Structure 1
Amino acid sequence: MSAPALERPAGYGRVLAVPEFRAVFAAHVLSMLGVIVSEIALSVLVYDLTGSPLLSALTFALGFLPYLVGGTLLAPVADRFPARRVLVVCDLVCAACVAVMAVPGTGIGVLLGLRCALAVVSPVFAGTRMATLSDILGGGDLFVLGRSLLRIVAQSALLVGYGLGGLLLAVLAPRHALLITVATFLASAALLRLGTRRRPARARARVREGGGTRQLLADRRIRLLLLLFWIPAMFAVVPEALAAPYADALGAGSPGLGLLMCALPVGTVAGELYAGARLGPAARERIALPLVCLTLLPYLGYALHPSLALSLLLLLTAGAGSAYTLGLDQWFVRAVPEELRGRAMTVLSAGLMTLQGVGMTLAGLAAEAVGVRAAVAGAGVVGALCCCGLAAAARRTARPAS
């Protein structure tokens, strides 16, 4: 095949033309909306029951912290069992957990425990789903664009889901809103069961006995790629974590807070759509490391005390820089052995969520010490330096495309 043909992007239309991917895509939309609605409803329910802002906020934090447990202890599940079975069982477990939350009289301890259970299951589901995309779409450009579409759905669900959750809670009690989440998980399970083909487990016996996760992390190239996914994301969440006090400092009120929360996801969706639709695989790889080094630099603008409009522009620009993930996806799927792809994606998902939770926590501590603007600008400086170091190391370990 000629170089120009290889350079042409496959296009999102070709990905959506695959029937099995459409089933995975629709299931992802339903489960994402359900998760966001459940987070809002559970937070309100806990606050109604306790009157404690701390416990209400803890329901969100518990969505991040147990990811590390699920991603490390349960990562082998993604490869040891048929992917469709893992996905359907995860959805059914999540539906059962939320159904118990919706039962009147369920105590605070049980509610928070079930929230932890959802977060433990989530990385296994996310990793298995991403790995099965390589079975459905192959390991080339279609796979990268499929992952991109699922990330775009996740970012868009943040924009739609929080608004939808607020509207639902205006007309429904929190426990009734939780029943909608149960329905979305059950619908997702049905779509995956009926819309995807059964495939055998990915792992071979020698992988099960030899410790596939250790094998993954022993590879320097894979470790660096994981860090290139995790570290920028850890610093990128700082403005979102501090959006409320920053909006208050600007005197922007609730409308300003809403705009600040939306700017980064909008920029991310725009960047991914452009890179996926307009750039070919080779171009995405060429821009990946430069974008990793540049994506956090707009945060330095917070040191100049920008207006609301300029702050939104800075966040949009930073979000668009996350288009580097498409190039990283291409390298990651090339570096990971096929029989370990499920647990690799599970570890990737678990580390991403865990370090974003760490980033939010550190952002709060930094803002207490030096103020919101200095904390965001500092995240830009420190994050960019870390990213440049990782990018340099990744370039030295680059492997030729097969």
Structure 2
Amino acid sequence: MPTDTENPAERPRDATNRSSGAGDVVEAAAPSASRGYGPVFAVREFRAVFLAHLLSLLGVIVSELALTVLVYRLTGSPLLSALTFALGLLPYLFAGTLLAGIADRYPARRVLVVCDLICAGCVAVMVLPGTPVGGLLALRCVIAAVSPVFTGTRMAALADILGEGDLFVLGRSLLRIVSQTALLAGFGVGGLLLAVLSPRGAMTITAVTFLCSAALLRLGTRDRPARSTEGGGGALLKESVSGARAVLADRRIRGLLLLFWLPPMFVVAPEALAAPYADEIGVGPVALGLLMCAMPVGQIAAELYVGTALTPRLRSLIVLSAAAAGLLPLVVYGLRPGMVVTVLALALAGAGSAYVIGLDQWFVAAVPEALRGRAMTLLTAGLMTLQGVGMALAGLAAEFLPVHQVVAAAGAMGTLCVLLLVLEVRRTAPADRIRTEVRDGADQHMTSG
């Protein structure tokens, strides 16, 4: 495991980096040149993880939509229908903190397969005609509680599969791109399924996607030992809490976690208030769809560009500046602009999230390997929880203020908070990395001049 004073992208590595365990040998990525995403797909284990991620993600999205429709048809209650979505966020903090030890205590492949099987089992029970509404909501909570453990374990396993250098960063980037793309396409696919199938019929298909994901992970990835052997059979809660405490006690790791968490907490404001804002400026459903799609499209485009066109050093160089500037486009909401300017501002705000590619590398370099699964699970739990908090606060503020002012204020306050956090992350940066970034920035300036 590299120390905080090393940049893993610059450190000499073995030419074979990591073996997939199935005959695949991955050549280490050169730090001075970006080869795009191709070398990541050359790793057979990653291909299995990638396809499993896509299947399980589509399963989650379609099942959420189908379950929402089913609950509304059974109860006629808009509140219970909306609560079905809300329950997807509420268990994240609980599960991500109290169950995080699972990610390090047990072999990653076993954890991932069991999580998929639990989700498939929950959906299978949801499909049964006799399942009451209370049972449907409880099963929804179980799936949501499994999600941060699954995501954190998979993130930690990627470092084992791809190594801790540039391939890991690009692998994480690809999974994020798939997530954003699936959000854009998943609701459309779910809508088509619900047009020809009943909600329970659509959920039956999602149970199959979870089973296929489990099969891919079981047959397509290597069985590696657990990272941590501390604690006994009954010490999972203690192990999870102590791991979270150890992660948050480290000033460097804590600052990096906050840099993952804070910008998304503020950037969700325009998405949470998209419908009220469309009503405020007098546009219809088509324009509302554009408002909802603009930010994910900007994020996907920027992440693809940064992942393919920039070297690892340049990705590291832009982290703090991109994070600091990412929320500024939202300030334009204060002028109550028309659709063209609004969509452009949202796309730019989405593009600002490309700072996460370089931040991934800093994070995996800072976290000790024995804590990696718990740290990744905590990262996921905090990210989802704070996005939920951000949505709730934006909605609460919009009860008292015009929507355009709320979004503009979120952009301004978020920028101020992130600037303060950037100073903290800068202070805790390893001296070697600061010197490297200053030198690379000067070289880049001389070259462009």
Deviations 1:89-129 (A, max 9, x none): 00000111111111112111111111111111000000000
SS at match of 2:399: helix
* 1:370 counterpart SS class: coil
Deviation for aligned residue 1:305: 1.1
User: Which residue matches 2:43?
Assistant: 18
Quote the Cα distance in structure 2 between the aligned partners of 1:247 and 1:290.
31
Question: Aligned with 1:200: secondary structure?
Answer: coil
Establish whether residue 324 from structure 1 lines up as the match of residue 349 from structure 2: no
Aligned-residue offset at 1:264: 0.6
Q: Are 2:74 and 1:49 equivalent residues in the alignment?
A: yes
> Does structure 2 conserve the Cα–Cα contact (< 8 Å) formed by 1:10 and 1:142?
no
Does residue 281 of the first structure (1) align with residue 312 of the second (2)?
yes
Give the Cα–Cα distance (whole angstroms) in 2 for the partners of residues 339 and 10 of structure 1: 30
Q: Secondary structure at the match of 1:368?
A: coil
> What amino acid does structure 2 have at the position aligned with 1:123?
P
Q: What amino acid is the match of 1:283?
A: L
Tell me the residue number matched to 2:33. Answer: 8
Could you tell me which amino acid in structure 2 is paired with residue 277 of structure 1?
T
Partner residue, 1:67 = 92
Q: CA RMSD in A?
A: 1.7
- Cα deviation for residue 254 of structure 1 reads 1.2
* Residue 159 (structure 2) aligns with: 134
Q: Within 5 Å, give how 1:158-237 maps onto structure 2.
A: 158-205=183-230, 211-237=242-268
4+ residue runs of structure 1 moved beyond 4 angstroms?
A: 1-5, 206-210
Counterpart-to-counterpart distance in 2, 1:65 and 1:2:
41
Aligned counterpart in structure 1 of residue 393 of structure 2, from 362, 371, 374? 362
- The one of 55, 64, 85 equivalent to 1:39 is 64
Post-superposition CA distance 1:35-84 (Å, at most 9, x none)? 11011111111111111111111111111111001100110000000000
Is 1:231–1:387's contact at 8 Å kept on the other side of the alignment? yes
Structure 1 unaligned spans of 5+ = none
Match for residue 138 of structure 2 among 113, 130, 139: 113
Deviation of 1:310 (Å): 1.2
Change (3 A) 1:338 1:2: closer
Aligned residue number for residue 381 of structure 2: 350
Q: TM-score, normalised by structure 2?
A: 0.87
1:152 to 168, 177, 183: 177
Distance change (3 Å), C-alpha of 1:59 and 1:296: same
Q: CA deviation at 1:206?
A: 7.2
How far apart in 1 are the matches of 2:288 and 2:70?
23
Q: Partner of 2:23 in structure 1?
A: none
Once the two structures are overlaid, the 10-residue window that deviates more, 130-139 or 197-206, is 197-206
Aligned to 1:99: 124
State the match for 2:408 in structure 1.
377
Letter in 2 for 1:226: L
For the pair shown, which has the larger CA radius of gyration, 1 or 2?
2
Structure 2: give runs of 5+ residues left out of the alignment.
1-9, 13-28, 437-449
Partner of residue 334, structure 1: 365
Cα offset for 1:5?
4.7
Residue pairs, 1:81-92, within 5 angstroms:
81-92=106-117
The secondary structure found in structure 2 opposite 1:216 is helix
Query: Which letter maps to 2:224?
Result: R
Aligned partner of 1:197: which letter?
R
Whether the 8 Å contact between 1:10 and 1:141 is mirrored in structure 2 is: no
Aligned partners of 2:68 and 2:35: how far apart in 1? 41
TM-fit CA distance, 1:262: 0.6
| CA distance in structure 2 between the partners assigned to 1:349 and 1:161 by the alignment | 21
Letter of the structure 1 residue corresponding to residue 336 of structure 2 = H
Q: C-alpha separation between the residues in 2 aligned to 1:11 and 1:136?
A: 18
Aligned to 2:83: 58
2:444 maps to none
- d(CA) in 2 for partners of 1:169 and 1:13? 36
1:295 is matched with: 326
Query: 1:335 and 1:204 mapped to 2: Cα distance?
Result: 21
State the secondary structure of the residue aligned to 1:369: coil
Give the deviation of 1:251 after TM superposition. 2.5
Kindly indicate which of the two structures has a greater share of residues assigned to helix: 1
Using the size of structure 1 for normalisation, the TM-score is 0.97
Counterpart of 2:335, as a letter, is L
Once the two structures are aligned, what percentage of the paired residues are identical?
66
Deviation at 1:280, TM superposition (A): 1.1
C-alpha contact 1:367 1:375 (8 A) present in aligned 2 = yes
SS of corresponding position for 1:205: coil
Deviations 1:178-235 (A, max 9, x none): 1111011000000000000100001143798873222111101111111000010111
Query: Structure 2: how far apart are the matches of 1:189 and 1:201?
Result: 19
- Cα pair 1:296 1:318 within 8 Å, conserved: yes
- Pairwise CA distance, 1:245: 1.2
The one-letter amino acid paired with 2:359 is L
CA distance in 2, matches of 1:342, 1:220: 19
Deviation at 1:252, TM superposition (A): 2.0
- Classify the secondary structure of the residue corresponding to 1:185: helix
Distance 2:293 2:11 in 1: 41
Match of 2:168 in 1: 143
- For this pair of structures, how many residues does the alignment match? 402
Relative distance call for 1:361 and 1:322 in structure 2 (3 A) is: same
Does the 8 Å contact 1:7/1:283 carry over to 2? no
SS at the partner of 1:197? coil
- Higher deviation after alignment, 3-12 or 136-145: 3-12
| Residue number in structure 1 paired with 2:149 | 124
User: How far apart in 1 are the matches of 2:89 and 2:248?
Assistant: 22
Of 254, 259, 262, the residue aligned with 2:285 is 254
SS in 1 for 2:400: helix
Counterpart residue number, 1:305: 336
SS at match of 1:252: coil
